[in-house]
Amino acid sequence: MSPVVLVEYMTQKYIPSSRLVKTLHTKAYLTLLDQLWRQFVLCISICKVEMCMYVYDHSGLCVSPPFNIHRNSQLFLTILVAVMFGTEPCVGFDPTITVTPTQVIQVPQRQVVNGTMGVNAEC
């Protein structure tokens, strides 16, 4: 299954140049590279009680200011509900692109006969 929203949690205080943020950059880049039907990738970082939202698209990144999830519990809950129950376009999927599964290609089995490769006669 493909990732829908990326979430990272750390017990240290939020620092914009932390390893967590660099990890999110890499994961978002790989998600956009792998999922061609994505318009953007939504990421969440939680450091202790500070939460940030990151939106990566093909042209860059937009970051929200950190907020305390205990003091702004309504905002925290709203974000969680939107991520959990939002439609596919709400979390970054492009509705104009349809992805269909490709047909699996069967490759004949090979067996080693007297140190040489040979095609199995049962194929």
pLDDT digits 0-9 by tens, 34-77: 888 888 999 999 988 999 999 999 899 999 999 999 999 999 99
Q: Is residue 108 domain-resident?
A: no
Which of the residue ranges 7-11, 66-70, 89-93, 110-114 has the most confident prediction, judged by mean pLDDT?
66-70
Q: Is residue 78 domain-resident?
A: yes
Q: Is residue 19 domain-resident?
A: yes
Q: Is residue 26 domain-resident?
A: yes
- Provide the residue type at 53 as one letter: M
Three state DSSP letters for 25-61: HHHHHHHHHHCCCECEEEEEEEECCEEEEEEEECCEE
Percent residues over pLDDT 70 in the chain:
81
Radius of gyration of the CA atoms of the chain, in A: 22
> 3-state DSSP call for residue 111?
strand
- DSSP for 8-23, please give it: EEESSPP-TTSHHHHH
Q: State how far the Cα of 6 lies from the Cα of 30, in Å rounded to an integer.
A: 12
Q: Is residue 65 domain-resident?
A: yes
Query: What is the rounded average pLDDT for all residues in the chain?
Result: 82
Q: Is residue 68 domain-resident?
A: yes
pLDDT above 80: residue 31:
yes
Residue 116 β-bridge partners: 113
User: 59: which 2 tokens?
Assistant: 């042209």
Other CB atoms closer than 10 Å to residue 83's CB: what's the count? 16
Q: Is residue 96 domain-resident?
A: no
Number of domains in the chain: 1
User: 35: which 2 tokens?
Assistant: 């999922």
Structural domain for 29, as ranges: 5-91
Q: Is residue 10 domain-resident?
A: yes
Asked if 84 and 101 count as a contact pair (C-beta separation under 8 A), the reply is: no
